[in-house]
Amino acid sequence: MLAWTGLFGFSVLLVGLVLLFLWHPRMGELFHRHVRDRPRRRLFLAAVGFFLTLALARGAAYAAARGIAPFHYIYIRGTHVHHLVWGILLLLIVGFCWLIEVGTGERSSSLLASRLMSLLYGVGAALTLDEFALWLNLQDTVYWTRQGRASLDAILLFGAALLIGIWGRGFLKALPGEIFRPGRKKV
């Protein structure tokens, strides 16, 4: 795991900057005008959090592996704590918040919470999936090896799912109704 002040600090800064950007009246209005429905806005923000955090995580891991300050691995009582731990914790926190209906976007008063939860979901997913190969191998040494390719595969699959949700939601939502519509001509 990269130092708490390193990767975690950058992730917090990233989320704060995106929220600040969207808080600006013109940017918020532009965002709502071009991304009209709420689920798509949430998917978009999750994708932004995911891809930016992924770039930060990969860069920070590269720097830590080469001893470039201020990045380093963190050990707690001799145990190397990987950044997927913080990703899992974030996903648990976001999931809990959504279970108790915080940040679901159902009320206009929860706009900030909805944006925050969506971004944090993307951040948590990136931190977790960046070390997906460790789930399979349980070794520190796989990150930069051929076995580490599993992390990249998981990242690509999840990123593709987010993008499909953003761009293809209308089509995917209409597809079951069209497939199972009575009187449809068989192809």
Is 186 among the domain residues? Answer: no
Nearest alpha carbon to residue 60 among 10, 121, 122 = 10
Q: In whole angstroms, what is the distance from residue 10 CA to residue 3 CA?
A: 11
Q: What is the per-residue pLDDT across 45-77, written as a single tens digit (0 to 9) for each?
A: 899 899 999 888 888 888 888 888 777 787 888
Compute φ and ψ for 168, nearest 5 degrees: -110, 10
Look up residue 77 and give its amino acid: R
Q: Hey, CA dihedral for 32, 34, 36, 38, is it positive or negative?
A: negative
What mean pLDDT comes out for the span 103-119?
A: 83
Which own/partner contact pairs does 74-83 have at CB distance under 8 Å and 24+ positions apart? 74/1, 74/2, 74/3, 74/4, 80/1, 80/140, 81/1, 82/1, 82/131, 82/134, 82/140, 83/1, 83/2, 83/7, 83/57, 83/127, 83/130, 83/131
Compute φ and ψ for 80, nearest 5 degrees: -70, 115
Is 40 among the domain residues? Answer: yes
Is 185 among the domain residues? Answer: no
Domain residues for the domain of 32 are 4-179
| 140 has a pLDDT exceeding 80 | no
Is 184 among the domain residues? Answer: no
Mean pLDDT of all residues in the chain? Answer: 79
Is 75 among the domain residues? Answer: yes
Specify the higher pLDDT residue, 128 or 33.
128
Beta-carbon count within 10 A of 85 CB: 15
What mean pLDDT comes out for the span 106-118?
A: 83
The predicted structure's pLDDT at residue 96? 92
| Top-confidence range, 6-20, 59-73, 91-105, 154-168 | 91-105
Is 76 among the domain residues? Answer: yes
Is 49 among the domain residues? Answer: yes
The predicted structure's pLDDT at residue 1? 42
Q: What is the per-residue pLDDT across 152-170, written as a single tens digit (0 to 9) for each?
A: 788 888 888 777 777 656 6
Q: What is the DSSP letter of 7?
A: I
Is 23 among the domain residues? Answer: yes
Domain count, the chain: 1
Tokens of 175: 């597809």
Nearest alpha carbon to residue 133 among 156, 154, 160 = 154
User: Which element (helix H / strand E) includes 75?
Assistant: strand 75-76
pLDDT class for 144, splitting at 50, 70, 90?
Answer: low
User: Which element (helix H / strand E) includes 80?
Assistant: strand 79-80
pLDDT class for 122, splitting at 50, 70, 90?
Answer: very high
